[in-house]
Structure 1
Amino acid sequence: MNPTDYSQGHALLVGVANYHQISRLPAAILNDVNDVAATLASPNYCAYAPANVVTLVDVNATRVAVLRSLDELAARVGLDDTACVFFSGHGAIVDSLDKEDSVLLTVDSDLANIESTSISSNELAEALSRIKAKRLLVFIDACHAGGAAISKKLTNEEGHEFKSGYSPNIFAKLAVGSGRALMASCRSDEESAVFRGARNSVFTTALLAGLRGAADKTASGFIKVFDLFNYISEEVPKLNPNDQHPIFKADNLELNFAIALNQVGRKTPHRPDAMGTAQQGDPWTVLENILIDLYPLGPRDQEVWSRAGGDLSRLQFHSNGQAAWHAALRTLKQGGGGLNINFSSLIGTAKKDFSNNPQLAMLQIS
């Protein structure tokens, strides 16, 4: 991985506050999109290439434009890339063929003709399935109710009304597939809060802090998907006590994959006690402790074992990362684990991923 940029990162961010025919939302919705985009593209934070970060806000966020931009994202993203899709605006719950469905409302949505002027869950799921990246993270912040309680309805002047929000069973549908995950701003019976005078919604306030380094608690230099959600799920209830709890959905997700660089973390030293551990003791034990910290899901995390020349089929399966690393390194020490992996190749691969990690720097490659 390139230590100075995350050119494999791609993002599409959509936000609608000023709907043509539906109640408006606070301006913070637009700030959310612009601030997340700026953070992803910043060389001081996530280091995406600016050209890879696309935003659609208000008048540009039509149904046609959103679907077209999803197709364009799918066309430019490769298998080994990372893709993020962010939507903030109104969602609505509708009855479709005797089943409850959820739709995203674009700026031109019309409640009188909602099925033809919104994006259904089937359309969104199909669009996401065309994105072939091994790592896809979707953010949905569609439980705003314009300042009213979430139980209130979306209405227009002609008397058409729909329940505001997004149905929880649809979230799982959007996260189907290997390497796919979804984060939603709140539970289905809650409102995604925007406090008066605040620049950002509560959810995006936590998301931005996480992307700007707070989610990388080990100063690894990467923002990883599980770490990011863990941070958000802890912070949002602090900002909006008892009223908002983000949710996470994943169908087949084993790896705590990176979604961005943490350039701030690369400048942050590790804990003094960890530094001391790296300076003394058996080098195999030191390496094990470091790898558990940097790759908490085990040798499969970030495909580090394979990239170091190892063969995962030579390793035994373990239910947690710590046990997996202990067994893998014991196998490696005995000459197993693959024909092309050794102590030095494993350290070298980890150093490429975490070039500024001071613990790794103290381990010698023979």
Structure 2
Amino acid sequence: MNSTGYPQGHALLIGVANYQQISCLPAAILNDVNDIAATLSSPMYCAYAPSNVVTLLDADATRAAVLKGLEDLSARAGPDDTVCVFFSGHGGIVGSPGNEDSILVTVDSDLGDIENTSIGSGELAAALAQIKAKRLLVFIDACHAGGAAISKRLTDCKGHEIKSGYTESIFARLAVGSGRALMASCRADEVSAVLRGARNSVFTTALLAGLRGAADKNASGFIKVFDLFSYVSEEVPKLIPNGQHPIFKADNLEVNFAVALSQGGKKAPYSPETTCMVNQDAPWSVLEQALVEIYPLGPRDQEVWSRAGGDLSRLQLHPTGQAAWHAAIRTLKQGGGGRSINFGSLLQTATEDFPNHPHLATLRAL
């Protein structure tokens, strides 16, 4: 068992730089996808299972392949999983004023038949809605400028053209639903910068740093959605003063959910700020909160309940990991859940898996 892995993490990462019929983009777009994939699947950073991180680059990022990738993602990700979808490439705006739609431009998009060869916001939103995971984060890095001002229109060699970019109303549409959020590289009237000679776009440079641990300022052992956006939104304007501001959209998001592990769960000793906050809560509540974070699939996750001496047959089934933990902790407080399990054995087992998790460390010190 890989006690510091994040098997519930799934990702679909799409990058298009070399379009078949439309102007190309900087090579940094492909680096962005490859570097995010490496960071998510690295045991030293986010600790996703490599098989759960799928990339579609250039020729592989056709309209059909992207839709199939989203379909496959919905098939393999369950309700208690965490899903990230990342797109870097051209975006376009079609339709008449007041009735505009934003489209995702795939490698095989044809400006002469753009509505049938791209992915509209309605189709993309429907595909995202099929994903059962209750934690979904979509990244859009579009409207790229490779060291110079980007054209406001996409053109081909046949005389066709459409407006480049996305609208913020479309971003909001893609973030509809409980536990759904979207992070975009820039505002609708800005460009996503790629500095000359840089390996990554400015947005992805900050995103990578955040995923590699910079967004985990309290050393919690997790990269969380609000913390990640807070970090990226602060860092990007430092690199492009007054020129680029990432945006965040969430329709019904109340929980600062974990996107990934931070440093594979191996962090420095917990911070005083975190322990002061935790000590105000009852030990049982703190333990439950920690267990929901590190074992989001419930007491069966990584066999933690059984390893702590519990009997899974004594627990009822629940639709989500959070509900399962709440019921299991209530049962344990009442003396049930198995003959050999108790508060101490459950805390000890979790601590062996995540020795530097701040909430667990605080409980052990009580």
Given residue 27 of structure 1, which amino acid in structure 2 is its aligned partner?
A
CA contact (8 A) 1:47 1:260 kept: yes
Residues in 2 aligned to 1:261 and 1:40: alpha-carbon distance in whole angstroms: 9
Residues in 2 aligned to 1:72 and 1:185: alpha-carbon distance in whole angstroms: 26
Secondary structure of residue in 2 paired with 1:6: coil
Given residue 251 of structure 1, which amino acid in structure 2 is its aligned partner?
D
Residues in 2 aligned to 1:33 and 1:264: alpha-carbon distance in whole angstroms: 20
User: 1:115 and 1:12, CA in 2 relative to 1: closer, same or farther beyond 3 A?
Assistant: same
- 2:129 is aligned to 129
CA contact (8 A) 2:218 2:273 kept: no
Deviation of the 1:307 alpha carbon = 6.0
| TM-score (normalizing by structure 1) | 0.80
Deviation of the 1:161 alpha carbon = 1.4
Residues in 2 aligned to 1:162 and 1:39: alpha-carbon distance in whole angstroms: 35
Residues in 1 aligned to 2:6 and 2:270: alpha-carbon distance in whole angstroms: 22
Deviation of the 1:239 alpha carbon = 1.1
Residues in 2 aligned to 1:362 and 1:77: alpha-carbon distance in whole angstroms: 33
CA contact (8 A) 2:265 2:357 kept: no
CA contact (8 A) 1:103 1:121 kept: yes
- 1:287 is aligned to 279
Residues in 2 aligned to 1:259 and 1:128: alpha-carbon distance in whole angstroms: 17
Residues in 2 aligned to 1:362 and 1:229: alpha-carbon distance in whole angstroms: 27
- 2:140 is aligned to 140
- 1:327 is aligned to none
- Structural mapping, 1:213-362, within 5 Å: 213-263=213-263, 266-271=266-271, 273=272, 287-288=279-280, 302=293, 309=326, 341=333, 344=343, 348=347, 355-357=355-357, 360-361=360-361
CA contact (8 A) 1:236 1:246 kept: yes
Given residue 58 of structure 2, which amino acid in structure 1 is its aligned partner?
D
Residues in 2 aligned to 1:19 and 1:355: alpha-carbon distance in whole angstroms: 47
Residues in 1 aligned to 2:112 and 2:218: alpha-carbon distance in whole angstroms: 51
User: 1:143 and 1:355, CA in 2 relative to 1: closer, same or farther beyond 3 A?
Assistant: same
User: 1:307 and 1:220, CA in 2 relative to 1: closer, same or farther beyond 3 A?
Assistant: farther
- 2:307 is aligned to none
Residues in 2 aligned to 1:306 and 1:365: alpha-carbon distance in whole angstroms: 27
Deviation of the 1:270 alpha carbon = 3.0
Deviation of the 1:60 alpha carbon = 0.6
Residues in 2 aligned to 1:114 and 1:300: alpha-carbon distance in whole angstroms: 48
Given residue 193 of structure 1, which amino acid in structure 2 is its aligned partner?
A
The share of aligned pairs that are identical, in percent, is 66
CA contact (8 A) 1:136 1:181 kept: yes
CA contact (8 A) 1:309 1:340 kept: no
Secondary structure of residue in 2 paired with 1:56: strand
- 1:330 is aligned to none
Residues in 2 aligned to 1:3 and 1:243: alpha-carbon distance in whole angstroms: 43
1:115 equivalent to 2:115? Answer: yes
Secondary structure of residue in 2 paired with 1:84: strand
Secondary structure of residue in 2 paired with 1:24: coil
Secondary structure of residue in 1 paired with 2:192: coil
- 2:190 is aligned to 190
Given residue 136 of structure 1, which amino acid in structure 2 is its aligned partner?
L
Residues in 2 aligned to 1:299 and 1:251: alpha-carbon distance in whole angstroms: 26
CA contact (8 A) 1:14 1:55 kept: yes
Secondary structure of residue in 2 paired with 1:169: helix
1:37 equivalent to 2:29? Answer: no
Deviations 1:304-363 (A, max 9, x none): 98666479xxxxxxxxxxxxxxxxxxxxxxxxx967559958x93995695413564353
- 1:324 is aligned to none
Residues in 1 aligned to 2:359 and 2:252: alpha-carbon distance in whole angstroms: 32
CA contact (8 A) 2:153 2:162 kept: yes
| TM-score (normalizing by structure 2) | 0.80
Deviation of the 1:267 alpha carbon = 3.0
Residues in 2 aligned to 1:85 and 1:359: alpha-carbon distance in whole angstroms: 30
Deviation of the 1:145 alpha carbon = 4.8
Given residue 179 of structure 1, which amino acid in structure 2 is its aligned partner?
G
Deviation of the 1:287 alpha carbon = 2.0
Deviation of the 1:157 alpha carbon = 1.7
Residues in 2 aligned to 1:46 and 1:153: alpha-carbon distance in whole angstroms: 37
Deviations 1:96-129 (A, max 9, x none): 6961100011111111111111110011001100
Q: CA RMSD in A?
A: 3.3
Unaligned 5+ runs, structure 2: 297-320, 335-341
Residues in 2 aligned to 1:73 and 1:301: alpha-carbon distance in whole angstroms: 23
Deviation of the 1:84 alpha carbon = 0.6
Given residue 93 of structure 1, which amino acid in structure 2 is its aligned partner?
I
Equivalent residue pairs, number:
329
Deviation of the 1:263 alpha carbon = 2.0
Residues in 2 aligned to 1:50 and 1:191: alpha-carbon distance in whole angstroms: 32
- 1:72 is aligned to 72
User: 1:221 and 1:163, CA in 2 relative to 1: closer, same or farther beyond 3 A?
Assistant: same
1:7 equivalent to 2:16? Answer: no
CA contact (8 A) 1:13 1:86 kept: yes
1:54 equivalent to 2:54? Answer: yes
Residues in 1 aligned to 2:190 and 2:147: alpha-carbon distance in whole angstroms: 12
Given residue 263 of structure 1, which amino acid in structure 2 is its aligned partner?
Q
CA contact (8 A) 2:93 2:162 kept: yes
Runs of 4+ in structure 1 off by over 6 angstroms are 298-301
